[in-house]
Structure 1
Amino acid sequence: MKARSRRGLAILAGLSALGIASALVLNAFRSNLVFFFSPSQVVAKEAPLERGFRIGGLVEEGSIRRSGQDLTVHFVVTDLARAVPVVYTGLLPDLFREGKGVVAQGRLGADGVFRADQVLAKHDENYMPPEAARALEQARQGKLGAPEP
């Protein structure tokens, strides 16, 4: 085999390996990408049923119900325009309270109940995740927008 042929074969093998590695990285990135939706967007059926996403807003007053047998908690997340029921099993953050900001990550069931894998609460009196604050403001103005990554 000529030196030129070996060099061409090595370049082709290198480009093939680079292409395969790029495809694997992009696939991993796509599967870990999580979008944020407001309760208004979820009720308007803009949220995916087959993929996980985040929902954020305020914990509705009087909506927290705890199971007596395990760590399951039922509550409602609202953006003051629409509300979505949430079910979570696990330990909640210390700052989780009614009327306070919350972001939950999980999947929406066919029954319209959001099953959370993770629940995050704001960490002080002045902070709310930017996506949740933007969704609350849009809901107050009566606007439904597209999800922002």
Structure 2
Amino acid sequence: MTRKQRRLTMIGAAGVTLALALGLVLWAMSDTIVFFRAPSQVASEGVEPGVRFRLGGLVEAGSVERHGDQVTTFAVGDGGGIVPVRYQGLLPDLFREGQGVVAEGRLDAEGLFVADTVLARHDENYMPREVADALKENGLWQHDGPAVRPAAARDLPSTTPTQ
């Protein structure tokens, strides 16, 4: 074997080894990759039961059922579809009807989304990009303008000293 042939063989072997390693890493991560879907996508695409994904939208008014301190069911909608959600556990303090929410879990055989994690937005200006995009598509997004301070904060006297 000539020197050039040995070099090409080594480069080819290294390429095959890297491709194999990359394939194994992607295969190992396939169970941990979680995709985002809006309620309208869940209805139109027919998501298979048992597939793990994130569901984002607005908590539908009148859909929250509380049993003690724990909410057991609520519905998430985006104007194009509504998905019922079941969650066992304490919800974030900012969780309420009409607010943005992202739930992570799986659909069961009846089409009920069984969530194991529920995330609520953390201030008045934040919403995950995917949720905001889905709401904009359905004409429900209302926060396109600049951030506006609440009226109560505008009416307070200024605390900066005057000279």
Q: 2:96 is matched with which residue?
A: 97
Equivalent residue letter for 1:41: Q
Partner of 1:147: none
For 1:93 and 1:116, the matched residues in 2 are separated by: 14
For residues 123 and 61 of structure 1, what CA distance do their matches in structure 2 show? 20
For residues 102-122 of structure 1, the C-alpha deviation after alignment (integer angstroms, 9 at most, x for no partner) is 011110111111001111111
In structure 1, how many angstroms separate the alpha carbons of the residues matched to 2:137 and 2:48? 20
Distance 1:24 1:71, change over 3 A: farther
The CA deviation string for residues 81-104 of structure 1, in whole angstroms up to 9 with x for no partner, is 321100011221111111100011
Q: Write out the 4+ residue segments of structure 1 that deviate beyond 4 Å after TM superposition.
A: 11-20
What is residue 30 of structure 2 aligned with on the other side? 30
| Structure 2 match to 1:145 | none
Query: 1:16 and 1:137 mapped to 2: Cα distance?
Result: 45
The correspondence of residues 1-149 of structure 1 with structure 2, limited to 5 A, is 18-68=18-68, 71=70, 73-140=72-139
2 CA distance for matches of 1:81 and 1:23?
38
Please give the alpha-carbon distance, in whole angstroms, between the structure 2 residues aligned to 1:118 and 1:59: 15
- The code of the aligned residue for 1:40 comes to S
CA–CA distance in 2 between the matches of 1:104 and 1:15?
A: 40
Q: How many pairs were matched up?
A: 136
Which sections of structure 1, spanning at least 5 residues, go unmatched? 142-149
Which shows bigger deviation, 47-56 or 57-66?
A: 47-56
- Identity over the aligned pairs, expressed in percent? 53
CA-based RMSD? 2.6
Q: Which has the higher contact order (CA 8 A, sep 6+)?
A: 1
